[in-house]
């Protein structure tokens, strides 16, 4: 492909998302909150919208081991650099991340799987609601699977452009000159698919709530992008090749 | 306070969120999508739920300058390390981030404002839907303002624990032994409040759509957490003090 030269490559950061289910998002608003703040509402209400969770709550109430109540807090310790070093490190990190770009042509050059593993492990250190870690990372290298993914993405994206998202969205994207053709899903040697788990399962098979799961997964994506950038250099003057990873956020079908 | 010793400190990562408006989240589902994938739906539909956007679309269609159509793609270039170095850097970054903890006691030790600036600038390099950058970072150092924020947070959190979130949520959090008392909002010398902008304004005063704004802001938060961790060290054996920053995600009142 004409544009797929070694310098026309990097991490892809345009997030395209599918939802494979049409869960009812109508929220049962709770009435009677006190005082002037009656309009406030916590996002987690949406995570609780499946009423089966609420029915299980009563019976689950006693599952937690009371013995854990007496566990001591663990002191947290870490290095604290002198102020000058602290400032220098924060400056260098900003400059490194500021070199990241969202691109639409990606090199097919290979990358060690150990790097992919480390990047995903770094993303997995993200905080999450009630420490539920509601994410699944899937690494795809097989050309046929990548191509199948591309076909699904392009089919969905074409619907976005042609009808789903409306005239306004198409207009807003016009200056970015994007479209639904995603060559890079074939050319990138590695795709990292990121799924959010909208709920989990307890040992007894019951559903567990994943609070703030979309926010948690997105935070993990931010850390993943930072990790991808870190194993590249801070200078951009003598490179010979590009970065072959494409990150996309997708919702897990449940 | 007894627990507020220098070693009992770090970055706070429990995300507590308010929504100050009760926007109607009922989604007008579009009918007639083709084929087997009729159940799929893009998240951005929610960003478009305010029908005023749709009415403006027609008149905005011609605002974009056609001259931009002929701008050339800009080749992207960056350092590519040898595989061994690449692997080493990704490993070190994972190990550094794996030392991050969500804590509930935060040191009152000062931190240079330049570091705060760099951390926020790093977060601002995050990708966002249609490059709308739908975030606002607010740094609070004034003790009175911090205390006012604490009062608001605690009032909302008490409602969460007592009634809003339900029995299930309280049960799930029990083993974490959290509650609605947030001393650290007073003790941390710096609070970084992060707001999502649910829409923007064009030069002519019209509302603009911020696509995927919640996901975009959460990704920026992930990068912010990584940036906060980076100016600390990779060894945790000889520290004398902690990290005084508290990050919270809040929704902008619009």
Residue whose structure tokens are 């995600």: B249
Q: Which of B19, B58, B59, B80 to mutate to test the interface with A (most CBs of A within 10 A)?
A: B80
d(CA B90, CA B97): 11
Q: Which residue of A has its CA nearest to B66?
A: A175
**Pairs of residues, one from chain A and one from chain B, whose beta carbons lie less than 8 Å apart:** 392
**Per-residue pLDDT at A179:** 84
Q: Which residues of B touch A218 (CB under 8 A)?
A: 214-216, 218-219, 221-222
Tell me what pLDDT residue A67 has: 55
Ranges of each domain in chain A = 1-20+82-234+243-254
**Scanning every residue of chain A, which has its alpha carbon at the shortest distance from the alpha carbon of B6?**
A77
* Burial bucket for residue A222 (CB in 10 Å: 0-12, 13-18, 19+): buried
Query: CB-CB: which of A121, A214, A236 is closest to B78?
Result: A236
Do A244 and A183 touch, CB atoms closer than 8 A?
A: no
Residue that the structure tokens 């799961």 belong to:
A213
Q: Does B76 touch chain A (CB under 8 A)?
A: yes
CATH number of B107-141+189-254: 3.40.109.10
Rounded to a whole number of angstroms, the distance from the CA of B143 to the nearest CA of chain A is 22
**ipTM, 2 decimals?**
0.73
Count the helices and strands in chain B (H runs, E runs): 8, 5
Q: Quick check: B244 contacting A, CB < 8 Å?
A: no
The alpha-carbon gap from A143 to the nearest alpha carbon of chain B, in Å, equals 22
CA-based nearest residue to B196, from B217, B180, B175, B177: B217
* Chain B 167-226, residues with CB within 8 Å of chain A CB atoms: 167-169, 171-177, 208-209, 211-212, 214-216, 218-226
Residues of chain B contacting A166 with CB distance shorter than 8 Å: 48, 54, 57
Q: Which residue does chain B place closest to A161, by CA atoms?
A: B42
Q: Which residue of B has its CA nearest to A76?
A: B8
Of B8, B94, B221, the CB nearest to A122: B94
Write the CATH number of the domain with boundaries A1-20+82-234+243-254: 3.40.109.10
Please judge whether B118 and A240 are an interchain contact, meaning their C-beta atoms are less than 8 angstroms apart: no
Say yes or no to pLDDT of B208 above 50: yes
Which strand ranges, in their side-by-side order, compose the sheet holding B190-196?
B135-140, B190-196, B245-251
Q: What local confidence, expressed as pLDDT, does residue B64 receive?
A: 52
* Percent of chain B residues past pLDDT 90, beyond the cut: 41
B1-5, B18-22, B221-225, range with greatest mean pLDDT: B221-225
Contacts of A28 in chain B (CB under 8 A): none
Q: Is A122 on the interface with B (CB under 8 A)?
A: yes
Contact A168 B87 (CB under 8 A): no
Check residue B62 and give its pLDDT.
47
Judge whether residue B88 has pLDDT over 80: yes
CB < 8 Å to B247, chain A: none
- Tell me how crowded residue A84 is: count the other CB atoms within 10 A of its CB: 10
pLDDT at A63: 52
Residues of B in contact with A236 (CB under 8 A): 77-79
Residue B87 confidence class, pLDDT cut points 50, 70, 90 = very high
Cβ neighbours of B209 (radius 10 Å): 27
Q: What is the pLDDT along chain A (254 residues), one digit of tens a residue?
A: 333 333 222 333 323 222 223 233 333 333 333 333 334 444 444 555 444 444 444 444 445 555 566 778 888 887 789 999 999 999 999 999 999 988 888 888 889 999 999 999 999 999 999 899 999 999 999 999 999 999 999 999 888 888 788 788 888 888 777 888 899 999 999 999 999 999 999 899 999 889 899 999 999 999 999 999 998 743 333 332 333 343 443 333 22
Tell me whether residues A15 and B215 touch, CB distance under 8 A: yes
pLDDT value of residue B8: 29
Asked if the C-beta of A144 comes within 8 angstroms of chain B's C-beta atoms, the answer is: no
pLDDT band of B93, cuts 50, 70, 90:
very high
A16 vs B220, which has greater pLDDT?
B220
More confident residue, A9 or B221: B221
Q: Measured between CB atoms, does B47 come within 8 Å of chain A?
A: no
Report which listed range, A107-111, B29-33, B40-44, B142-146, is most confident.
B142-146
Instruction: Please report which residue ranges of chain B form alpha helices under DSSP H.
Output: 44-47, 51-60, 83-97, 113-123, 143-159, 166-174, 184-187, 213-230
Asked whether the beta carbons of B19 and A29 are under 8 A apart, the reply is no
Say what the pLDDT of residue A150 is: 95
Distinct helix (H) and strand (E) counts, chain A? 8, 5
Could you tell me which of A166, A250, A200, A213 has the C-alpha nearest to residue A47?
Answer: A213
What is the arithmetic mean of pLDDT over B52-81? 63
Helix (H) or strand (E) holding A46: helix A44-47
φ/ψ of residue B158, rounded to 5: -65, -40
Q: What is the distance in angstroms between the Cα of B78 and the nearest Cα belonging to chain A?
A: 4
**Scanning every residue of chain B, which has its alpha carbon at the shortest distance from the alpha carbon of A83?**
B112
> Which residues from chain B sit within 8 angstroms of residue A220, using beta carbons?
222
């Amino acid at each position: 492909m004409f544009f797929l030269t070694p310098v026309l490559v990097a991490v892809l950061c345009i997030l395209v998302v599918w939802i494979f289910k049409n869960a009812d998002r109508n929220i049962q608003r709770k009435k009677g909150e006190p005082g002037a703040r009656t309009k406030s509402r916590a996002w987690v209400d949406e995570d609780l919208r499946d009423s089966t969770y609420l029915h299980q709550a009563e019976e689950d109430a006693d599952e937690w081991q009371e013995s854990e109540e007496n566990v001591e807090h663990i002191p947290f310790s870490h290095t604290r650099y002198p102020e000058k070093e602290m400032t220098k490190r924060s400056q260098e990190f900003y400059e490194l991340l500021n070199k990241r770009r969202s691109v639409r042509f990606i090199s097919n050059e290979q990358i060690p799987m150990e790097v992919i593993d480390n990047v995903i492990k770094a993303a997995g250190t993200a905080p999450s609601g009630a420490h539920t870690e509601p994410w699944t990372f899937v690494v795809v290298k097989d050309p046929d699977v990548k191509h199948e993914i591309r076909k699904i993405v392009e089919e969905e994206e074409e619907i976005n452009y042609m009808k789903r998202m409306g005239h306004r969205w198409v207009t807003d994207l016009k200056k970015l000159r994007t479209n639904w053709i995603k060559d890079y899903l074939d050319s990138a040697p590695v795709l990292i698919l990121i799924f959010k788990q909208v709920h989990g399962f307890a040992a007894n098979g019951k559903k567990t709530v994943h609070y703030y799961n979309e926010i948690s997964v997105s935070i993990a994506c931010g850390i993943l992008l930072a990790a991808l950038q870190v194993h590249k250099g801070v200078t951009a003057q003598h490179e010979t090749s590009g970065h072959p990873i494409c990150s996309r956020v997708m919702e897990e079908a449940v």
